[in-house]
Amino acid sequence: MSKLKTFLIFVSAFAISIILIYLVAKNINDFELVLKKTGIFAPIVAVLIYGILSVTPIPTDPLTLACGALFGPVWGIFISWMGNNFAALIEYVIGRGAGDVTSFESKKNKLPFGLGNLPADSPVFLILGRFVPGFGSKIVSVLAGVYKVSVWRYLWTAAVANIVGSVLYVLGGFGLFTIIK
């Protein structure tokens, strides 16, 4: 793919994410309602919402809590795990494109503070970095793409970290729902 095409895709994704941030922020309380109204398709819609949120700086943690409350602990864990894996893959692809557009490989050795030697392909970094509160998972995903970590290594480390996060957040959401109910 040419650099111009990659750049245009990157700019388009950025523009779409700005629009999505606005729409999500304006309608954040409607997520639960949307999921309830989609009936048996709610799990698929939830996974797609994870994918949509992946191109925004909005974390998916509240959606994971909602999955626990709406689907119960077992299905909530599975749905949020699938959704977070889908989101992680999209973030990785965005990072890969950003690395290509910026010719990162040729410039990484010139980064300050030794950032060019960041162990982005280390399983420890790829798993534990996702647990940094806030945007840890998004940053690790994009960095893995920019540093061209192998897809297989990236996917299995993301899946390991995401199952732990899904269990914790879904059980928390289910517990809160049980207490409030």
In angstroms, the first-to-last Cα distance of the chain is: 53
Beta strand spans in 46-181 (E): none
Determine the Cα angle at 90 with ends 116 and 84, to 5°. Answer: 105
Domain residue ranges of the chain, discontinuous segments joined by +: 3-180
Selected residue with higher pLDDT from 179 and 76: 76
Lowest mean pLDDT among 91-100, 101-110, 118-127: 101-110
Beta strand spans in the chain (E): none
Residue 82 pLDDT > 70 = yes
Q: Quick one: tokens of 165? A: 């996060």
- For the stretch 119-177, pLDDT in tens is 777 888 889 888 877 677 888 888 888 888 899 999 999 999 999 989 988 887 777 66
Residue 96 pLDDT > 90 = no
